[in-house]
Structure 1
């Protein structure tokens, strides 16, 4: 059990490092190319860093009060992302503020699928084998990010291939039901 706990801590630490890189690149290209879905994806990378950090602390320090408080913080960060997406997507569509086609946005989301898919699977497996709810919850955050990657590929990819710019903000809007679900799971 101790070796699987140590391995899961290493996986979570890797998740933090990976999401830092993913978030920086997604925000950079999201701003540069005015992509709402890519910006939202980048912001979510930092939410995942926060959740992973909380999970690491929870695995190191056992405290129900701090876990519940941290979980509420994570929940409300999802709600803030919903507000951002609603505002930015609506603004962009009303004003026809078109995102640039983004090859790098597609690349970032594809890399995310290939990295975070196996990572989430491994963390879920360890969490279930050790019956550790913290590891399971953190793995579900990684799975959530994986789902967002697919939406980014759709929104950014359709814009890249067809120049139908409104797919980008619509893809961001499609993230909202998942974000609200995650908010309700953690508040």
Structure 2
């Protein structure tokens, strides 16, 4: 049977993998989003960078609960949550304004091929991370780690939106579908930002499990 020390090491490793993956995904998504003029893919990439800030708070949380499982969220985590929340709100504002402008002007992406590829990879990677985090969280009977796993599901939902909008554009070349997909991403980003501020002001770990 795996001891708690080893399980916490696995939990920390999963948090670090999440951070590294989001950094790589962010660079690739913003690059191809800019080159292909796909706002949905570009916005998806910016969201990945914001998730890195959140991931640093999660990694810190794992170390904290390893040393004191019954401790509450500390100042570092609350600050990370507030910064993440502000970043999400700024992202939402930019995505909504640009989406409306693109729909108004009839802007179309050059291609959304990479949106399809990146979203499929993201769904697979994030699902593996969700499964692994849930497994470790259950073994440790840790509410914070289980909550993090549930919140990671939001990344899968956003990847699905990117996949659908990019796939429809590639098949049918409906110009506004990229902007509609972007508005879908903005909706989830707004909810994430709201949740960050809620968590920063209390000791509840996640409302995603509703």
TM-score (norm 1): 0.91
2:10 corresponds, among 4, 7, 26, to: 7
1:94 aligns with 2:104: yes
Unaligned runs of 5+ in 2: 66-72, 198-210
Counterpart CA distance in 1 for 2:134 and 2:83 is: 23
In 1, are the aligned partners of 2:53 and 2:80 still within 8 Å (CA)?
A: no
Q: Which structure shows the bigger proportion of residues in helix conformation?
A: 1
Counterpart CA distance in 2 for 1:139 and 1:81 is: 23
CA RMSD, Structure 1 to Structure 2 (Å): 1.7
Aligned residues: 187
In 2, are the aligned partners of 1:48 and 1:142 still within 8 Å (CA)?
A: no
The residue aligned with 1:52 is 55
Report runs of 4+ in structure 1 exceeding 6 Å deviation: none
1:16 aligns with 2:19: yes
Range with greater deviation from structure 2 (149-158 or 121-130): 121-130
Deviation at 1:136, TM superposition (A): 3.3
The residue aligned with 1:142 is 152
Counterpart CA distance in 2 for 1:80 and 1:131 is: 36
The residue aligned with 1:65 is 75
Deviations 1:59-110 (A, max 9, x none): 2357622222221222222211111111110111111121122212100100
TM-score (norm 2): 0.82
Matches within 5 A, 1:18-167: 18-61=21-64, 64-167=74-177
Counterpart CA distance in 1 for 2:147 and 2:89 is: 18
Q: Secondary structure at the match of 1:15?
A: helix
